[in-house]
Structure 1
């Protein structure tokens, strides 16, 4: 079975409501992106990252070794339209698949930048208010 590395930084992480999409995947550890991304909250429903180059920071998340079947059959269908599959760079130099913000998606009024050192889960824990549709 062919597998790929998938970086997740939102509700697909351990304990999140989308983590069941990765039930067949192998957890490969907690990791951070290279320091070249910005991290956004979409109305405190889901997060997204966007490559910015030198003015970014290292976004925390989790890495999974996932089959193509689970990636395309279980995880991707549950991702929001504002995100798309892409390749990112991790802080150790490796590359991984990840969901990233589509072009123009961060221009909406309900999008705010996340700067919490604990990422999405820390952002939610320390005062984010659930947006329309609850918590994703």
Structure 2
């Protein structure tokens, strides 16, 4: 089992959450304040590690098997993202998806305190 931090469509209620329904939910979590957070066409978000101007991005933490990660979750991730090890707010590490450096063109920065869900709520008409 490994820890996987998710902050977008793999979170509860998201379009690619199904692979995590049998994983053990470890709770809400935040990244260390070393990341910028980007929206890609309002379809999915991505973390970018930075040395300045970062913030703590909210998400969910799961204990997941390598098999579920390899066979069920990672194949659903968009090509703009790659698997990486990130730092959480408590100083520990976790696997997570992050933006590939060459994929940032056209992305819109998210700074909503509620992360992806908050960003999407502000984009909904009405």
Q: TM-score range by the shorter chain?
A: over 0.9
Shift of 1:128: 5.4
Please report the TM-score for the alignment, with normalisation by the length of structure 2: 0.96
- Partner SS for 2:70: helix
Tell whether 2:75 aligns with 1:115: no
- Please give the per-residue CA displacement for 1:50-108, whole angstroms capped at 9, x wherever unaligned: 000232000000000000000001000000000000000000011000000012211x2
Match of 1:134 in 2: none
1:42 correspondence with 2:33: no
Q: Tell me how large the CA RMSD over aligned residues is.
A: 1.1
The whole-number CA distance in structure 1 between the counterparts of 2:27 and 2:112 is 20
Q: Which runs of 4+ in 1 moved over 6 A?
A: none
Q: Give the total of aligned pairs.
A: 125
Cα-to-partner distance string for 1:13-50 (whole Å, 9 max, x where unaligned): 01111111112210000000000000000010100000
For residue 5 of structure 2, what is the aligned residue in structure 1? Answer: 7
Unaligned runs of 5+ in 1: 130-136
d(CA) in 1 for partners of 2:78, 2:40? 10
